[in-house]
Amino acid sequence: MTHQDLRTRRLALAGHGAVARALSTLLERAAPELAARYGVAYLVTAVATRTRGLAVDAADATAWAAWPDLTSFLADPDAPYDVLVEVTTQSPADGEPAASHMRAALGSGRDVVTANKAPIAWHEAELRGIAERTGTRLRYEAALMDCLPTHAIRESIVPVGRVHSFAGIVNATSNAVLSAMAEGRSAAEALADARRMGLAEADPRNDLEGHDAALKATILANLLLEPRELLRPDAVVRHGLEAVPDEWPAEAVRRGARVRLVARGERAASGPAGSGFAGPTGRSGETRTPGAGPVDVRAWVGPEELQLADPLALVAGTSMALRIESEHGGRLQFTLLDAPVEETAYAILMDLVALERRRD
Ligand SMILES: NC(=O)c1ccc[n+]([C@@H]2O[C@H](COP(=O)([O-])OP(=O)(O)OC[C@H]3O[C@@H](n4cnc5c(N)ncnc54)[C@H](OP(=O)(O)O)[C@@H]3O)[C@@H](O)[C@H]2O)c1
């Protein structure tokens, strides 16, 4: 393929933290293969951060002055970018301002790829509506479980029949903390490690209090269980590590078990209110009373003591896993062994490549 045959895709990066930096490195390393296999060259033409503002690499230098802020840039059909990569800090309460960035990009005819789960969990129906209207695409593999391919599960592995339920260890930081506590190390030490690796959320309460896991449970429930009406994060019952007494993880090891923060979802005929949390004595399988929520699908997050016979108990440290039970496909479990931030960047690249494939 000659240089002239290459299709250039201009990327606007909203946010330039750990994930965006890892993506830039990956795009550089993978550039020859992306050109050879897909005929595409990615070019970062805009970068915005909260403290440093917006920088645009436009052919026309006067363009620098044209946009007062990121959202105006993203909403401008003439702004020099084709795809928004949304990797700003997570805002679990409402998904803003990331959701507004996505509305502006989709509304002005651009595809969006994101690692940011809150805007998807809160606003997926609206964002999908805009994408449908403008013929654009929204992809969010990186928002779920890094490069553990959740979309491929629905599209390729369970293309027919219902997914009845899922159970997952979906937050690497809280899992690393619980694993460290089981070995008698302190939670603070394990959290510091996760921060050094670029894994922890900017506000670690998002990980430790289960907010991140609850947002993922919302998205997984909507993706895998296909409710009549999309589930919202406030319908997911949430308990985090505040419900784990210091001694519980090590005591569980002595009983031949492990404490894990588990996200669950299932289809249900009716939806009684309640708490999914069974407390330190709770055992796997006893915590199945879901929270209030829309009718046909329920999801919840909380610490559970899992016997070692349960493969989720063996998912330790920064690993994550997802188990599904489906109508025709039986029970399947997928595990991502260790999840450095580079794998989040890789999941973004998976989505960028998927956009190119569909174009042909
Ligand atoms: N790290 C992981 O392993 C991982 C895994 C999966 C998903 N994610 C998700 O990916 C996203 C990014 O994570 P990260 O680890 O890269 O975060 P990070 O290192 O904290 O970086 C966040 C970036 O967003 C920028 N930002 C925040 N608010 C902004 C705004 N209103 N406008 C423009 N830029 C803004 C920050 O700017 P300043 O630097 O100027 O403050 C910073 O550059 C988060 O939504 C996170 O939940 C992360």
pLDDT at residue 357, as a whole number? 82
Beta strands at 320-326 and 163-169: parallel, antiparallel or unpaired: antiparallel
State in Å: Cα 14 to ligand 1 middle: 8
Cα four-point dihedral sign 226, 327, 292, 269: positive
pLDDT at residue 283, as a whole number? 38
The model's pLDDT over 23-44, given as tens digits with 9 standing for 90+, comes to 999 999 999 999 999 999 999 9
- Ligand 1 pocket: which of 50, 101, 211, 338 to mutate (most atoms <8 Å of CB)? 50
pTM: 0.90
> By CB neighbour count within 10 A (0-12 exposed, 13-18 middle, 19+ buried), where does 93 fall?
exposed
Q: Where are the beta strands (DSSP E) in the chain?
A: 7-14, 40-49, 53-56, 83-86, 111-114, 138-139, 163-169, 237-238, 257-267, 297-307, 320-326, 330-336
State in Å: Cα 50 to ligand 1 middle: 9
* Ligand 1 contacts CB of residue 199 (under 6 A): yes
Which residue(s) pair with 298 in the sheet?
Answer: 266
Residue spans of the chain under pLDDT 50: 270-293, 360
Q: Which long-range contacts (CB under 8 A, 24 or more apart) does 353-359 make?
A: 353/34, 353/38, 353/40, 354/139, 355/83, 355/111, 355/113, 355/137, 355/139, 356/7, 356/9, 356/38, 356/40, 357/38, 358/137
Specify the CATH number of the domain 3-146+343-359. Answer: 3.40.50.720
* Ligand 1 contacts CB of residue 335 (under 6 A): no
d(CA 8, CA 4) in angstroms, rounded, equals 10
pLDDT at residue 183, as a whole number? 92
* Ligand 1 contacts CB of residue 2 (under 6 A): no
Q: Is the peptide bond before 97 cis (omega within 30 degrees of 0)?
A: yes
Encoding tokens for residue 297? 């699908």
Q: Which of 123, 216, 239, 260 is catalytic?
A: 216
pLDDT at residue 200, as a whole number? 81
Which class is 150-338 in CATH?
Answer: alpha beta
* Ligand 1 contacts CB of residue 116 (under 6 A): yes
* Ligand 1 contacts CB of residue 121 (under 6 A): no
State in Å: Cα 266 to ligand 1 middle: 31
* Ligand 1 contacts CB of residue 90 (under 6 A): yes
Report which of 327, 355, 90 is spatially closest to residue 205, judged by C-alpha positions.
90
- Any idea where the domains of the chain sit in the sequence? 3-146+343-359, 150-338
pLDDT at residue 35, as a whole number? 96
- 117 assigned to active site: no
* Ligand 1 contacts CB of residue 156 (under 6 A): no
CA torsion 320→326→331→334, rounded to 10°? -20
pLDDT at residue 2, as a whole number? 59
pLDDT at residue 278, as a whole number? 42
Nearest CA to ligand 1 atom 29: 50
d(CA 102, CA 188) in angstroms, rounded, equals 35
The model's pLDDT over 266-305, given as tens digits with 9 standing for 90+, comes to 998 644 333 344 444 443 333 334 444 456 999 999 999 9
Those residues with Cβ within 8 angstroms of residue 59's Cβ, 6 or more apart along the chain or in another chain:
80
pLDDT at residue 291, as a whole number? 47
Number of Cβ within 10 Å of residue 204's Cβ equals 17
State in Å: Cα 16 to ligand 1 middle: 7
pLDDT at residue 338, as a whole number? 86
Nearest CA to ligand 1 atom 15: 18
State in Å: Cα 287 to ligand 1 middle: 33
| N-terminal to C-terminal alpha carbon distance within the chain | 16
